[in-house]
């Protein structure tokens, strides 16, 4: 049952007819398109003002008038009869909302804002429409026709999934999308029967998950995250980034905190080898970049020694991402012509760093994992020549909605950080560039 006879009602009726609904319309008058539908026998029509008893026997109701009183009356009457009701642009009166639809039958994509912003949902729909060719429906139909043969060819759901993922990224899919469906069917049939169809080879994806904000992931990282069978991940990978890992992938946590290692590094290396040799696509997901204090080099050494294929996907390292979100440029013509990255936590647990290299003039120093030894680091930097007034900052959970920044100088930084009860993960930046934060800070977390 649709209440209304104007443009909005027309859109709703067209959507319902696509779903093969039997549509009855109630309105004092009809627009031209609805009149044409009535003349073609596609809808039923009662010319009348709305009254509650008209809803008796209806399965679903949509109020699409421009009269608020009528829309409210429809909502009350439908709820009294336990009939699902949608009132256009009035989510508080609805018991359901109707999403925007991208139709690539048999593929259907629904975009809903829960009634909060239908215009935004339609804009998102337009973007998706532009990205997904109309021929994707034929690609899905092809898969349906060959589904039973593939199920017989591959005994496990994992092998079938990998097979189809490879097909959908292959020249067979391109043949379908370009209108050469007979050729695609022939090629797919031949592949299923060939030895090349076997997909049991494992691989490791060493992926940098960036400093926390999921928008900073690379396209390649996201693609591999979505096709992995198992994800081996670290403590520094944010929850928001983990949400983008394939939903049914097995998750294995190997995070490290100071003096608390879930798995020693050697065992992590061997775990990656074992999982890959079981034929799995293994996502080794790390915070930041895998080759900057991420032990990625140690892991691929073991993979190479064992003949395990792998890919490395760089990520935005914390120094770049966190400093940008904190409003602290790492280099600046007036303050710093070089930048050095170092770790405040060495393999043997000490903070014995190359202090002379860290106190050179016109330089920015970025210290990873230096929170526990911060007081000693500040003392040593001063002892080796940096002035106690040198600006410095500690950023906690940079780039995320939980980002916190404490700025001070080397003489007072450790005390200020302790007073603020900062917790890992934190990054420390030392240099004249820190004073620019007062002018350049742009990111204000909402959390």
29: annotated binding-site residue? Answer: yes
Length of the chain, in residues? 447
CA-to-CA distance for 210 and 410, rounded, in angstroms? 28
CB 272 within 8 A of CB 303: yes
Per the annotation, does 241 bind a ligand? no
- Bridge partners of residue 288, in order along the sequence: 210
Q: Which of 213, 234, 280, 286 is catalytic?
A: 234
Binding site annotation covers 361? no
Residue 432 annotated as part of some ligand binding site: no
Residue 289 marked in a binding site: yes
Establish whether 398 is an annotated binding residue: yes
Residue 37 annotated as lining a ligand binding site: no
State how far the Cα of 366 lies from the Cα of 427, in Å rounded to an integer.
7
Q: In sequence order, what are the beta bridge partners of 261?
A: 256
Would the annotation count 287 as a binding residue? yes
262 is in an annotated binding site: no
Cα angle vertex 58, ends 54, 60, to 5°? Answer: 120
CA distance 343 to 107: 49
* DSSP single-letter state for residue 332: B
For the CA atoms of 12, 13, 19, 24, what is the dihedral angle to 10 degrees? 130
User: In sequence order, what are the residues at sequence separation of 6 or more whose Cβ sits closer than 8 angstroms to the Cβ of residue 286?
Assistant: 206, 207, 208, 209, 233, 234, 236, 237, 294, 296, 315
369 is in an annotated binding site: yes
Token pair, residue 78, equals 């439908």
CB 222 within 8 A of CB 242: no
Is position 288 annotated in a ligand binding site? yes
Whether 446 is catalytic: no
Task: Check the annotation: does 8 bind a ligand.
Answer: yes
423 flagged as catalytic: no
Helix, strand, coil share (%) of the chain residues, nearest 5: 40, 20, 40
Distance between CA atoms of residues 335 and 362, nearest Å: 6
**56 is known to lie in a ligand binding site:** no
The Cβ of residue 321 has, within 10 Å, a number of other Cβ atoms equal to 21
Instruction: Give CA–CA dist 380/361, Å, rounded.
Output: 16
Of the candidates 42, 235, 256, 416, the residue annotated as catalytic is 256
* Residues in the annotated binding site for S-adenosyl-L-methionine: 211, 287-289, 292, 317-318, 369, 398
* Residues in the annotated binding site: 7-8, 28-29, 211, 287-289, 292, 317-318, 369, 398
* Residues in the annotated binding site for NAD(+): 7-8, 28-29
The catalytic residue positions are 234, 256
């Amino acid at each position: 049952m649709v209440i209304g006879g104007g443009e909005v009602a027309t859109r709703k009726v067209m959507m319902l007819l696509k779903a093969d609904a039997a549509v009855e319309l109630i309105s004092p008058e009809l627009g031209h398109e609805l009149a044409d539908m009535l003349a073609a026998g596609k809808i039923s029509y009662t010319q009348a003002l709305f009254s509650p008893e008209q809803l008796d026997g209806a399965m679903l109701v949509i109020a699409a008038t421009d009269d608020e009183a009528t829309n409210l009356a429809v909502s009350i009457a439908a709820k009294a009869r336990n009939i699902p009701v949608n009132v256009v642009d009035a989510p508080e009166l609805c018991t359901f909302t109707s999403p925007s639809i991208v139709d690539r039958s048999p593929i259907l994509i629904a975009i809903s804002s829960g009634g909060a912003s239908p215009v935004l949902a339609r804009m998102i729909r337009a973007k998706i429409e532009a990205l997904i060719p109309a021929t994707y429906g034929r690609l899905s139909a092809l898969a349906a026709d060959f589904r039973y043969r593939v199920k017989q060819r591959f005994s496990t759901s994992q092998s079938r999934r990998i097979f189809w993922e490879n097909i959908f990224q292959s020249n067979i899919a391109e043949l379908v999308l370009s209108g050469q469906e007979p050729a695609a069917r022939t090629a797919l049939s031949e592949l299923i029967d060939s030895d090349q169809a076997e997909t049991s080879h494992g691989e490791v994806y060493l992926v940098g998950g960036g400093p926390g904000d999921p928008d900073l992931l690379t396209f390649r990282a996201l693609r591999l995250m979505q096709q992995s069978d198992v994800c081996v991940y670290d403590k520094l990978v944010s929850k928001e980034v983990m949400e983008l890992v394939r939903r049914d992938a097995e998750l294995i946590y190997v995070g490290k905190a100071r003096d608390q290692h879930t798995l020693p590094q050697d065992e992590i290396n061997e775990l990656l080898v074992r999982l890959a040799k079981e034929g799995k696509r293994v996502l080794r997901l790390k915070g930041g970049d895998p080759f900057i204090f991420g032990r990625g080099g140690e892991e691929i050494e073991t993979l190479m020694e064992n003949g395990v294929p792998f890919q490395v996907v760089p990520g935005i390292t914390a120094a770049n991402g966190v400093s940008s979100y904190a409003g602290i440029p790492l280099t600046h013509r007036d303050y710093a012509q070089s930048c050095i990255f170092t770790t405040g936590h060495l393999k043997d647990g000490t903070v014995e760093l190359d202090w002379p290299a860290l106190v050179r003039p016109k330089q920015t120093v970025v210290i990873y994992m230096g929170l526990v030894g911060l007081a000693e680091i500040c003392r040593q930097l001063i002892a080796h020549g940096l002035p106690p007034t040198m600006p410095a900052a500690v950023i906690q959970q940079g780039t995320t909605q939980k980002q916190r920044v404490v700025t001070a100088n080397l003489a007072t930084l450790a005390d200020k950080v302790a007073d603020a009860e900062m917790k890992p993960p934190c990054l420390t930046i030392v240099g004249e560039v820190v004073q620019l934060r007062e002018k350049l800070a742009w990111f204000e977390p909402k959390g």
